[in-house]
């Protein structure tokens, strides 16, 4: 198979981002994986024998200045934080809504084939949860964006995997849900914790080839 696709990944240093980049590097369909990052990537964390990774350190506050990098077939957005890490609701919204929304706009402007990003199970613009409300508002904003036909969101529950930064509350929630997983059937199945590798794989399946 001849590699003919180029991918752009935002959030490559995160839990899902790392899993995704590793999967893309092993995917014969891709010839290049460009990663827009806040700080230099540690290449030892990635399996890239064919040197597909091109890491570009940028200022996400000025994401529009890097529009040229969106001239690829597929854009993957794994950006995300927590309100605790962000320090405030406004900072959280800036990362989880504004940055992702701008990325979708740049994807449209550069006519990429498709845009896939990470949302959350339970995302709803009318939710009483600020986190889920922002995720829902973002889904509405992107999916209603004109001339961005191939946009899709994955909606994982708790993510399983080793994080560089400890998230105590999330860890407690994961442990509880893992205990309940065997009885989470039917409509509750979507709330089961899922591995970062599974989410990354789902993202690749949503792209348009």
Q: Considering only CA atoms, which of 7, 68, 17, 22 is closest in space to residue 38?
A: 17
**One of 131, 133, 191, 201 is an active-site residue; which one?**
131
Active site residue 135: yes
Does residue 66 have an active-site annotation?
Answer: no
Tell me how far apart the alpha carbons of residues 9 and 115 are, in angstroms, rounded to a whole number. 10
Residue 1: exposed, middle, or buried by beta-carbon count in 10 A (0-12, 13-18, 19+)?
exposed
- Of residues 6, 18, 52, 135, which has the active-site annotation? 135
Select from 79, 78, 36 the least CA-distant residue to 55: 36
Tell me how far CA of residue 25 lies from CA of 45, 47, 50, 57, 163, in angstroms: 12, 7, 8, 19, 21
Q: How big, in percent rounded to 5, are the helix, strand and coil portions of the chain?
A: 45, 15, 35
Helices 100-109 and 130-143 sit at what angle, rounded to 10 degrees? 10
Would you please indicate which residues are annotated as catalytic (active-site) residues? 131, 135
């Amino acid at each position: 198979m001849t590699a003919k696709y180029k991918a752009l990944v935002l959030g490559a240093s995160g839990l899902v981002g790392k899993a995704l980049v590793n999967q893309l590097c092993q995917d014969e369909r891709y010839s290049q994986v460009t990663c827009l990052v806040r700080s230099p990537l540690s290449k030892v964390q990635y399996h890239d024998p064919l040197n597909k990774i091109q890491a570009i350190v940028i200022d996400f506050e000025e994401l529009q200045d890097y529009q040229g990098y969106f001239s690829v077939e597929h854009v993957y957005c794994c950006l995300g934080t927590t309100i605790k890490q962000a320090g405030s609701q406004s900072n959280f919204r800036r990362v989880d809504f504004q940055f992702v929304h701008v990325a979708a706009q740049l994807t449209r402007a550069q006519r990429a084939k498709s845009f896939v990003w990470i949302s959350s199970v339970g995302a709803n613009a009318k939710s009483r949860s600020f986190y889920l409300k922002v995720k829902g508002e973002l889904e509405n904003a992107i999916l209603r964006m004109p001339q961005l036909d191939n946009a899709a969101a994955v909606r994982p529950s708790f993510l399983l995997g080793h994080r560089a930064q400890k998230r105590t509350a999330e860890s407690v929630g994961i442990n509880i849900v893992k205990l309940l997983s065997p009885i989470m059937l039917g409509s509750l199945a979507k709330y089961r914790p899922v591995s970062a590798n599974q989410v990354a794989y789902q993202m690749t399946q949503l792209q348009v080839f």
